[in-house]
């Protein structure tokens, strides 16, 4: 087996940072030692096959993105990143594990749904991957199927309070799925928006002639996110199910989560970089059809109302549990432009799997969160949340050697033609300048990115059978 020494860097964990050297033996971490340790001998390089110099740089566990949608059918098209292109882009950005969503359509068994996603991903991924299961047809057979999936390492299930006629579950179905989740110890994930009310607002806007992308945001107001979040929390309280609310964008919805947590309820909130950096006014309100680039659900919120600053505050103080991307990319040409003249036909989704680690590091540079909190919300807690710790999310003996060498003195310019490897014809973060840079990425001891070069190949990534959540209160 290949032995690698990562030397001279500052190892960053969720609990602290200190100068340490890391020895990798094969695909796992063998030792984490103080520089100059006698264990390494007088000539450390003599005891290993490869030395990675990390002086002046951070050494952190590979990023874990717990919310992606590769090759996902939606709105008459399909997300533009395949498992091959999307996981390669993730690797360039310092993410070494994703958890993607398998979709159950009405009339299809959950077991057959997960099998279809295994077929899509197998042999194509650059990094390790797991699956959540979307339960789009809650019935007796689906509820029984959830138990089978948990036994196979698929331990989290997502429901939608939005998209009537597509993914929507009513309160009775949600209650039954939560009861099953509680019995299994599985995590219930929720897209929390009042889809029934939203559909009325959308129809009214279109009748008025309000067809531009901007109205995607105004017809999905924060009140309908807060209401649905509160309702999901109450149903989870009745059933005892742990609840993970995905892509929280409204400060009021996050407040509901924080209040529930303060009472000891197992409720967790995820947010995404787009809700921290982008806004209704600046992006969705861009001239002409340009705002379609940023149509996603939940939508971008008003900066004037202070959502972004409040989400950063909750992120800093622990109200936000994890930061994921909800990576669901669509190109402008032939995909987003399906909604010209009718915003409701714009495929909902933003691509960002490549840029999450950089964007959140900029929050460190700007003083919005600590170095340790950066690693916590992007690496360690997602691994714990989704049953992968301590194999993932930490640099410690026995852990998978998923390691990122990050240069805080480097620079990253985001944009098409710059650092952009996602299969999209635009970047949601075009023109962003980051005060930091991913230098080297290792996945299970294999260097897959180094100095801007991709050294991996499709099939390097393995499917992860996950345990139950290790992050419950």
Average pLDDT score over the chain: 97
- Structural domain range at position 357: 63-386
Pair of tokens at residue 269: 């909130």
Mean pLDDT (whole number) for 15-29: 97
Q: For the segment 301-336, what is each residue's pLDDT rounded down to a tens digit?
A: 999 999 999 999 999 999 999 999 999 999 999 999
Residues 6 or more apart from 376 whose CB is under 8 A from it? 14
Distances in whole angstroms, Cα of residue 218 to Cα of each of 49, 166, 453: 58, 21, 42
For the chain, the domain total comes to 1
In the predicted model, is pLDDT for residue 40 greater than 70?
no
In the predicted model, is pLDDT for residue 43 greater than 90?
no
Helix (H) or strand (E) holding 176: helix 171-184
Mean pLDDT (whole number) for 424-430: 97
Question: Residue 46: inside a domain, yes or no?
Answer: no
Backbone angles phi, psi at 113, to 5 degrees: -65, -45
Pair of tokens at residue 272: 């995404």
Q: For the segment 428-443, what is each residue's pLDDT rounded down to a tens digit?
A: 999 999 999 999 999 9
Q: Are residues 470 and 384 in contact, defined by beta-carbon separation less than 8 angstroms? A: yes
CA distance 43 to 140: 64
Question: Residue 346: inside a domain, yes or no?
Answer: yes
pTM of the entire predicted model:
0.97
Question: Residue 408: inside a domain, yes or no?
Answer: no
Q: What is the pLDDT, as a whole number, of residue 41?
A: 64
- Please state whether beta strands 28-33 and 10-12 pair in parallel, antiparallel, or not at all (unpaired): unpaired
Q: What is the pLDDT, as a whole number, of residue 203?
A: 98
Q: Are residues 302 and 279 in contact, defined by beta-carbon separation less than 8 angstroms? A: yes
Q: What is the pLDDT, as a whole number, of residue 39?
A: 65
In the predicted model, is pLDDT for residue 42 greater than 90?
no
Question: Residue 417: inside a domain, yes or no?
Answer: no
Q: For the segment 138-187, what is each residue's pLDDT rounded down to a tens digit?
A: 999 999 999 999 999 999 999 999 999 999 999 999 999 999 999 999 99
CATH number, domain with residue 273: 3.20.20.140
Rounded (10°) CA dihedral 87, 335, 105, 83: -10
Q: For the segment 115-134, what is each residue's pLDDT rounded down to a tens digit?
A: 999 999 999 999 999 999 99
In the predicted model, is pLDDT for residue 218 greater than 80?
yes
- Please state whether beta strands 10-12 and 446-450 pair in parallel, antiparallel, or not at all (unpaired): unpaired
Helix (H) or strand (E) holding 28: strand 28-33
In the predicted model, is pLDDT for residue 5 greater than 80?
yes
Question: Residue 12: inside a domain, yes or no?
Answer: no
DSSP string over 298-320: SPP--TTTTHHHHHHHHHHHTSS
Q: For the segment 396-407, what is each residue's pLDDT rounded down to a tens digit?
A: 999 999 999 999
Question: Residue 262: inside a domain, yes or no?
Answer: yes
Would residue 429 be called left, alpha or beta, if left means φ above 0 and alpha means ψ between -120 and 50 degrees? alpha
Q: What is the pLDDT, as a whole number, of residue 254?
A: 98
Question: Residue 407: inside a domain, yes or no?
Answer: no
Residues 6 or more apart from 262 whose CB is under 8 A from it? none
CA distance 270 to 382: 10
Q: For the segment 79-106, what is each residue's pLDDT rounded down to a tens digit?
A: 999 999 999 999 999 999 999 999 999 9
- Please state whether beta strands 156-160 and 128-134 pair in parallel, antiparallel, or not at all (unpaired): parallel
Question: Residue 223: inside a domain, yes or no?
Answer: yes
In the predicted model, is pLDDT for residue 358 greater than 70?
yes
3 state SS of 471: coil
């Amino acid at each position: 087996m290949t032995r690698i020494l990562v030397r001279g860097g500052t190892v960053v964990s969720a609990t602290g940072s200190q100068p340490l050297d890391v020895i990798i033996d094969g695909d796992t971490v063998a030792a984490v030692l103080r520089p100059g340790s006698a264990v390494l001998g007088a000539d450390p390089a003599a005891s290993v096959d490869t030395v990675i110099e990390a002086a002046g740089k951070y050494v952190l566990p590979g990023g874990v993105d717990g919310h992606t949608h590769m090759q996902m059918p939606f709105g008459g098209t399909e997300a533009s990143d395949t498992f091959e292109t999307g996981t390669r882009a993730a690797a360039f950005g310092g993410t070494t594990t994703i958890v993607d969503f398998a979709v159950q359509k009405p009339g299809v068994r959950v077991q057959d749904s997960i099998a279809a996603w295994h077929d899509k991903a197998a042999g194509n991924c650059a990094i390790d991957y797991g699956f959540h299961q979307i339960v789009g047809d809650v019935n007796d057979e689906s509820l029984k199927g959830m138990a089978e999936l948990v036994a196979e390492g698929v331990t989290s299930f997502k429901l939608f309070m939005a998209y009537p006629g597509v993914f929507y579950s009513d309160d009775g179905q949600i209650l039954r799925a939560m009861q099953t989740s509680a019995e299994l110890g599985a995590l219930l994930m929720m897209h929390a928006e009042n889809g029934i009310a939203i559909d009325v607002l959308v129809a009214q806007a279109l009748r008025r002639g309000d067809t531009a992308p901007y109205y995607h945001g105004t017809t999905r107001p924060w009140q309908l996110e807060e209401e649905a979040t509160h309702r999901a929390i109450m149903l989870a309280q009745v059933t005892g199910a742990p609840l993970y609310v995905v892509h929280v964008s409204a400060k009021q919805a996050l407040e509901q989560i924080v209040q529930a947590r303060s009472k000891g309820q197992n409720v967790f909130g995820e947010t995404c970089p787009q809700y921290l950096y982008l806004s209704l006014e600046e992006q969705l309100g861009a001239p002409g059809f340009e705002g379609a680039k940023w149509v996603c659900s939940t939508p971008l919120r008003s900066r004037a109302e202070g959502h972004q600053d409040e989400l950063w505050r909750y992120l800093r103080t622990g109200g936000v549990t994890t930061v994921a991307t909800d990576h669901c990319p669509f190109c402008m040409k032939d995909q987003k432009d399906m909604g010209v003249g009718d915003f409701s036909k714009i495929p909902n989704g933003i691509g960002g799997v490549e840029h999450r680690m950089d964007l959140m590091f900029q929050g460190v540079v700007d003083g919005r969160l600590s170095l340790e909190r950066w690693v916590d919300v992007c690496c360690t807690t997602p691994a714990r949340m989704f049953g992968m710790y301590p194999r993932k999310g930490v640099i410690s003996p026995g852990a998978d050697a998923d390691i990122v060498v990050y240069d805080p003195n480097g620079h990253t310019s985001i944009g098409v033609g710059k650092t952009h490897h996602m299969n999209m014809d635009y970047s949601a973060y075009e023109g962003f300048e980051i005060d930091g840079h991913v230098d080297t990425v290792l996945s299970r001891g294999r260097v897959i990115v180094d100095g801007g070069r991709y050294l991996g190949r499709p099939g390097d990534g393995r499917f992860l059978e996950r345990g139950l959540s290790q992050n419950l209160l």
